[in-house]
Amino acid sequence: MHIRKPLAAGIALTMLATLGLSGCGEQKSETNADGKPVVKITLIKRSTQIEAKEMNLTKDLEAACDCEIKWEEILDTQWAQQASTVLASGDVGDITIWGYNADNFAQYNYWEDLSDDLDQMPNVKEYFDTIPEAKMFGSDLEGHIWQVPSDYGNASGAKWSSGQNLMINKQWLEKLGLEVPKTWDDLTKVLTAFKNDDPNGNGEADEVPMLINQLGTAGFGWWSPFLLLNGTGQNTQFTTGSGSQGIYVKDGKVGNWMLSDNFRKVIEYYHSLIEAGLMPADVLTRDASLNTADISSDGKTAKVGLIYGWNTGNFGDLKDEYESIEVPAAPGVSYEQTTWEAEMQDIYNGAAVKAGLDDAHKTAALKIIDKFLDPDISMESYYGDLGKYIENKGDGVYNVIKFQDDLSTFGLADRGLTWVRENMSVTGDQDKVLAEKDGTVYKNQQSHIGEKDLIPMYTRLSSEDNTTVSNNNSTIWNYALPLISTWIQDGGLTDDAWNTYIDTLKKSGIEDNIALWQKAYDDTMKASES
């Protein structure tokens, strides 16, 4: 199982005031004993991924750049703590892969504008010409290119899936003679049966009918409990930076569902489930490792009935017991009003180059990035050594020989740099198979999304507007997220409490944020049409 998270959801950074460019002018950079440039690549990765220095990838990249590569490999769990310190100091790597997002590029001036370097990177130039959305993802509205993103494209299950799935134990349904829930009332009845009727058959009351993920501290991430909003007719976009803030668009008009009655309904419904013992009482505060342990159980006897996640591979050896289901409709909401997260173009954070490198190091850095986008090297980066873990079968077809051992991958997966062209395909990737199977469940509900009901993933705030929104959000998150968690777990959401909450959000600048995102949406739509 390899799980992809967008950077906006994967990194929570404390935004500091914009700092001046620490690297103005050429900087003296390291060379090795042979006088070749030493290029430092900072790679943000998961603990389950192989070290890049152990891969043939390093030798292939060094041959292309005629340089030596030094990897600084930082676990994403550590990076979440270190990133703000690095941004404050300006001590960024010569190349950083996965570490920074559009907010960082808007706030800080540490990175090279690659817009006038494309002629030195033919693969990148071809990539941007072929996939204009990738160029827009890596750019700001002024045309500066701050990063070369990854696009797993035609080989990715995410191309047929939003990566957001609501998954239920179908064997439990069958054993208890239950149908897939179509409404919230149905869902409550199903979860009650999961709790009371021993669906796993072990004679113990050890079933956990439903689990939801913690809210976090800086917005709403992937697999958010508030995916249930789609059952109220409110479309969500948790895979985007705007959507993680509660921002949505309907018929071209931007709003924030944190202010909506639909949002309140979801909070109150979840509390009713906790009151009925259908979710753990501490579901939003207990250690996330407990959820992981419950979901995978012992690999033989399932414990959990329903979760949000990447795909049914989340359940490990129990995956065949589960299936993705459409989101049930809230009371008073017709099926035609329900919706679901849209399929996503699988473009995600990639590589940025430090500003102010001397000519030799900058040239080497550009060659490294360009080589990453070579078809064979992209596959090697993602899956592991070519010929050992991934093979080129010819005619653009690659076959995965072995992706992982237990949960440890032989490649960098989505934490490297990859472009899979339209004439390329991958066989043998079980994760892709599962993503496609799970994703197709939502085709009908996704079709309910209107033409002007989606904010493009590459929508960007200006530097000044980003600072305003970030500052407002710091106040909003500090106030709202603990309160929402308390309402879900402990109750107390009265009319007076809700009115106070709405007033406080407005005083904290949430309406200003909506106006600035409206401006960014309008500007992006104009740029897309030009």
pLDDT one-digit tens code per residue, 175-221: 999 999 999 999 999 999 999 999 999 999 999 999 999 998 889 98
Burial 150-165, CB ≥16 within 10 A → b, else e: bbbbebbbbbbbbbbb
Domain with CATH 3.40.190.10 in the chain: 38-156+346-426, 165-341+451-529
Q: Which residue in 63, 134, 132, 74 sits closest to 98, CA to CA? A: 74
Number of helices (H) and strands (E) in the chain: give both, helices first.
17, 15
The residues near 253 (Cβ < 8 Å, ≥ 6 apart) are 518
Residue with more model confidence, 73 or 102: 73
Three-state DSSP at 125 gives helix
Task: Report CA torsion sign: 422, 428, 431, 434.
Answer: positive
Pick the CATH number of 38-156+346-426 from 3.30.200.20, 3.40.50.2000, 3.40.190.10, 2.60.40.10: 3.40.190.10
Q: Looking up tokens 């129990």, which residue turns up?
A: 318
The confidence score (pLDDT) of residue 462 equals 86
The residues near 164 (Cβ < 8 Å, ≥ 6 apart) are 222, 223, 227, 238, 239, 308, 340, 341
The confidence score (pLDDT) of residue 103 equals 83
pTM of the predicted model, to two decimals?
0.81
* 394 within 8 A of 118, measured Cβ to Cβ: no
Could you give the angle at the alpha carbon of 215 between the alpha carbons of 214 and 219, nearest 5°? Answer: 150
The confidence score (pLDDT) of residue 8 equals 35
- Strand blocks (E) in 53-164: 68-75, 95-97, 148-151
Question: Which pair of tokens denotes residue 519?
Answer: 């401006």
* 364 within 8 A of 122, measured Cβ to Cβ: no
- Residue 31 CB burial class (10 angstroms; 0-12, 13-18, ≥19): middle
pLDDT one-digit tens code per residue, 94-109: 999 999 988 889 889 9
CATH class for the region spanning 165-341+451-529: alpha beta
The confidence score (pLDDT) of residue 428 equals 87
Task: Please give the Cα distance from 449 to 319 (Å, whole number).
Answer: 30
